[in-house]
């Protein structure tokens, strides 16, 4: 069979294919290259396609008339479209193309040799003008289509043409402008980020991505889909959240993998720990026993276990609901941990992060969920018992310290110091953050709820922020404690005007709580309230954070009357009075008096104190979250209503503090006409709730 006969067979096959394509009303076919589906341009591109097919049919008919007598033959060798072509002509057979140049294969490997070699030279004859004309027509059509795509992309940058997935190495679509606009941007590289995988081996704190905040390459943000990726490598997921949108979780977490979710129990199940199947794959829900009538399980946590052995620890201030990750601003701590190749050969680690986390998860009824998964067939679960936390992963690079509250009533110093603000005091001492002699600690407390504050309670928590153990003040007469002035504390909460100026206005304030009775009561600390205003835009901050900074000054805490010994000796008097400096002034003189609890009693030269410290987690600045200490030195008691957890980090660089803190600094004190946002007062009952508004947005 000569070359003219092969060409005639190819033309006949192409014409038949064109007729079938018209009968199928433009159904898409893959012609060994990526197809671009112009879903929003049917009217614009349809005329060009119809004109092209008419021209092709006329050309084929003319060629058939001049080539009568050619016999039936096998299909011609496959030829490929040039690399510059962004789309396949829908009227062409997958095995026939127009220009004999090498092109990509769907598998990403080279095409067979017979399809990548130049086509045999065409003998002069009546078919040559047709081929030249046909190639010219195709090039013009591709040029028109490319111009159309570029013009449309420039006019409407939010709605792109959909493309099929190109081969990674060789597909020409991968290098086209249209394709690049559909690729997720790479995460901005940080010093502690592995650029090859986006891992955070030294820990990282960022705000969450927000639909209403303009992207800033200098302030990268965490998005939940990026945090959990790559989901194909996930082996097990452990989550905790106060409120959870389970169907939303299924949009980015694999339902084929086991998942354990800790949530706040239903009202009728608070008296006992619970375990329930969620009805999605092997997803389980566990709930702790809530000892307090008004307490809640408020912990936010993600433990992501990957097939590679890596463990990602995530502590967000956001709940597992879409609007917390889209419409209001939250903050997230992420740290990756490598696995220990042979846990049996390693000595037990002394780091208290996994040990402390173990105790908190035990109180949340997590062991019951793990046991259920193991007993139902997950014998290779990466976390089969909480003891594995300490033995299977390397915690040596973790600088953060955990602070948790576990609902309950505690007695004895060991138990009292385990949770709540006494635990915070112990951590502050451990990281070397108590204020040194001649320094005063100022704290800024940002949250989504405010409590019923008294001078006694705020001073109690403030002492813990200074690293002072409750044993140093617990036996101070309560009457004296009740008369203490307010400590240097700034309470950050959005003023009504800030909510009004936010993206959603008052309808968006449903996640923020301040009761009218707390604000209007006699002696309310109105002078401590400062406006919580995000520095990145008109969004409300759901972040829970305490920032401790130091300034020159003196703040002396009275020691309690020493405990009398059985022989009657040991009684003494308090040596100093309490001196509280205004936290907004900077020129107070330094007063050094004997009895300051911030002195280094050992006499050793202490290492340089951090510039500041932060707490970030689920705790709001309330008694329900941090607990209250009572009793006596001999019989101390701690009462906590909620389950909470967060981290404390020393900050040794002021620039790092500026990067982490999400609100405008310094925060502005409420003016004489300012009031906090109060839902019961400022939002009409008939208006849609925040959740209803977010669901329709």
Q: Which of 328, 322, 218, 235 is nearest to 282 (CA)?
A: 235
CA dist 599 and 413 (Å) reads: 23
CA dist 650 and 656 (Å) reads: 11
Dihedral angle sign, alpha carbons of residues 145, 151, 154, 158? negative
Partners of 313 in beta bridges: 303, 335
CA dist 362 and 563 (Å) reads: 37
CA dist 284 and 262 (Å) reads: 9
Catalytic site residue from 212, 272, 277, 298: 298
Partners of 449 in beta bridges: 513
Catalytic site residue from 421, 530, 542, 619: 542
Decide if 505 contacts 677 (C-beta within 8 A).
no
CA dist 262 and 666 (Å) reads: 37
Residue 3 tokens read as: 């070359």
**CA angle, 457 then 600 then 613, to 5°:** 55
What is the helix (H) or strand (E) element at residue 336, kind and residue range? strand 331-337
- Side-chain half-sphere exposure of 41, counting CA atoms within 13 A: 22
Decide if 450 contacts 514 (C-beta within 8 A).
yes
Decide if 409 contacts 637 (C-beta within 8 A).
yes
- Answer yes or no: 542 catalytic: yes
Phi-psi sector, 672: left (phi>0), alpha (psi -120 to 50), beta: alpha
3-state secondary structure of 416: helix
Helix, strand, coil percentages (3-state) for the chain, rounded to 5, are 30, 20, 50
- Answer yes or no: 272 catalytic: no
Question: Per DSSP, which regions of 65-219 are E strands?
Answer: 162-163, 193-194, 199-200, 204-207
Dihedral angle sign, alpha carbons of residues 683, 689, 691, 695? negative
Decide if 446 contacts 541 (C-beta within 8 A).
yes
Decide if 494 contacts 667 (C-beta within 8 A).
no
Q: Which of 546, 523, 560 is nearest to 649 (CA)?
A: 546
Dihedral angle sign, alpha carbons of residues 189, 192, 194, 197? negative
Distances (CA, A) of 391 to 251, 270, 350, 357: 33, 33, 11, 13
Residue 300 in marked binding region: yes
Q: Which residues are annotated as a binding site?
A: 300, 544
Active site residues per annotation: 298, 542
Q: Which residues are annotated as a binding site for substrate?
A: 300, 544
């Amino acid at each position: 069979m000569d070359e003219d006969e092969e060409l005639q067979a190819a033309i006949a096959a192409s014409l038949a294919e064109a007729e079938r394509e018209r009968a199928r009303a433009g159904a898409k076919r893959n012609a060994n290259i990526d197809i671009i589906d112009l879903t929003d341009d049917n009217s614009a591109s349809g005329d060009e396609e119809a004109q092209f097919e008419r021209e092709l049919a006329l050309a084929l008919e003319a060629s058939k008339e001049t080539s009568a007598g050619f016999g039936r033959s096998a299909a011609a060798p496959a030829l490929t479209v040039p690399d510059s072509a962004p789309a396949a002509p829908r009227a062409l057979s997958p095995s026939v193309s127009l220009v004999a140049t090498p092109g990509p294969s769907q598998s990403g490997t080279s095409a067979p040799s017979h399809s990548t070699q130049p086509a045999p030279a065409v003998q002069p004859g009546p078919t040559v003008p047709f081929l030249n004309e046909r190639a010219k027509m195709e090039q013009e059509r591709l040029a028109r289509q490319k111009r159309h795509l570029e013009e449309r992309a420039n006019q409407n940058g939010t709605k792109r043409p959909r493309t099929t997935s190109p081969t990674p190495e060789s597909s020409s679509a991968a290098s086209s402008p249209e394709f690049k606009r559909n690729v997720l941007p790479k995460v901005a590289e940080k010093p502690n980020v592995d650029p090859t995988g986006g891992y955070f081996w030294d820990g990282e704190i960022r705000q969450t991505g927000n639909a209403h905040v303009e992207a800033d390459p200098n302030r990268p943000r965490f998005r939940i889909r990026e945090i959990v990726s790559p989901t194909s490598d996930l082996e097990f997921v452990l989550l905790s959240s106060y409120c959870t949108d389970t169907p939303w979780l299924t949009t980015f977490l694999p339902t084929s993998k086991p998942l354990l979710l800790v949530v706040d129990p239903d009202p009728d199940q608070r008296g006992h720990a619970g375990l329930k199947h969620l009805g999605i794959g092997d997803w389980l829900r566990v709930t702790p026993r809530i000892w307090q009538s008004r307490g809640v399980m408020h912990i936010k946590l993600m433990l992501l276990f990957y097939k590679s052995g890596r463990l990602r620890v995530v502590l967000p201030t956001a709940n597992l609901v879409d609007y917390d990750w889209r419409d209001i601003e939250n903050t997230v701590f992420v740290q990756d941990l490598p696995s220990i190749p042979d846990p049996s050969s390693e000595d037990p680690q002394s780091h208290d992060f996994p040990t402390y986390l173990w105790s908190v998860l035990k109180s949340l009824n997590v062991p019951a969920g793990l046991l259920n998964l193991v007993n139902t067939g997950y014998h290779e679960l990466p976390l089969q018992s909480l003891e594995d936390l300490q033995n299977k992963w390397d915690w040596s690079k973790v600088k953060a310290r955990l602070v948790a509250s576990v609902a309950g009533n505690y007695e004895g110093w060991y138990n009292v110091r385990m949770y709540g603000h006494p635990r915070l005091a112990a951590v502050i001492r451990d990281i070397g953050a108590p204020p040194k002699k001649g320094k005063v600690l100022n704290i800024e407390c940002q949250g989504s709820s405010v409590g019923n504050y008294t001078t006694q309670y705020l001073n109690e928590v403030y002492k813990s922020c200074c690293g002072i153990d409750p044993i140093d003040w617990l036996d101070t007469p309560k009457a004296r404690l009740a008369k203490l002035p307010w400590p240097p504390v700034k309470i950050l909460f959005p003023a009504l005007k800030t909510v009004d100026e936010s993206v959603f206005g008052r309808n968006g304030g449903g996640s923020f709580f301040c009761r009218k009775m707390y604000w209007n009561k006699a002696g309310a600390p109105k002078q401590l309230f400062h406006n919580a205003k995000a520095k990145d835009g008109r969004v409300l901050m759901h972040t829970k954070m305490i920032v401790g900074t130091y300034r020159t000054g003196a703040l002396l805490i009275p020691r309690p009357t020493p405990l009398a010994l059985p022989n009657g000796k040991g009684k003494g008097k308090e040596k100093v009075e309490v001196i509280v400096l205004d936290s907004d002034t900077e020129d107070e003189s330094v007063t050094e008096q004997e009895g300051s609890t911030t002195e280094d009693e050992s006499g050793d030269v202490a290492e340089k104190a951090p510039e500041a410290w932060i707490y970030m987690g689920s705790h709001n600045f309330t008694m329900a979250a941090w607990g209250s200490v009572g009793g006596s030195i001999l019989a101390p008691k701690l009462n906590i209503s909620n389950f909470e957890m967060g981290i404390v980090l020393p900050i040794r660089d002021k620039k790092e503090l500026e990067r982490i803190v999400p609100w405008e600094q310094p925060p502005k004190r409420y003016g004489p006409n300012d009031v906090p946002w109060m839902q019961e007062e400022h939002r009409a009952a008939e208006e849609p709730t925040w959740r209803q508004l977010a669901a329709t947005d």
